[in-house]
Amino acid sequence: MSDCLFCRIAAGEIPADIVYQDEKVVAFRDINPKAEVHLLLIPREHVDSLNAVTPAHDELLGYMLRLTAKLAREQGLADGYRTIINTGPGGGQVIFHLHLHLLGGKGLPGFE
Ligand code: 5GP
Ligand code: ZN
């Protein structure tokens, strides 16, 4: 059993409010939302961070970004949204399984 929280969510071992999943990715609501809509998109494959990405992941990353736009539309974020990938301790990364934050709607924090 993996000791990575997001691997365990992807495997269904830990519950999450999943809004989309397929064979490559899972999207679920952040447990501590920073805006009205706050989703986390993760690859099913464990990748520590953006720093661990290789050319073999190019297709996966493109897929995740396209899916982000689709999920934003489905979440009603026609006016726009913010995407964030925190990388490493200095970038505020707390969970070391690559994830993309999709934020939008009321309460979207400033970019300070
Ligand atoms: P990071 O700071 O690593 O970019 O973001 C990690 C995010 O994961 C945080 O926004 C945090 O609220 C979220 N998070 C941490 N633990 C859980 C959990 O068990 N379930 C869900 N859905 N989100 C989590
Ligand atoms: Zn993982």
Summarize pLDDT for 29-79 with one digit per residue, the tens: 999 999 999 999 999 999 999 999 999 999 999 999 999 999 999 999 999
What is the arithmetic mean of pLDDT over 11-38?
98
Residue 71 in domain? yes
The pTM is what? 0.97
Residue 111 in domain? no
Residue 43 in domain? yes
Question: Ligand 1 centroid to 95 CA: how many Å?
Answer: 7
6: Cβ below 6 Å to ligand 1? no
Query: What is the structure's pLDDT at 110?
Result: 81
Question: Ligand 2 centroid to 78 CA: how many Å?
Answer: 31
Residue 112 in domain? no
Q: Are strands 100-104 and 82-84 parallel, antiparallel or unpaired?
A: antiparallel
97 has catalytic annotation? no
Q: What's the pLDDT tens digit per position in 73-105? A: 999 999 999 999 999 999 999 999 999 999 999
Residue 62 in domain? yes
In 3D space, the residue among 84, 87, 82, 98 whose CA is nearest the CA of residue 24 turns out to be 98
92: Cβ below 6 Å to ligand 1? yes
Residue 18 in domain? yes
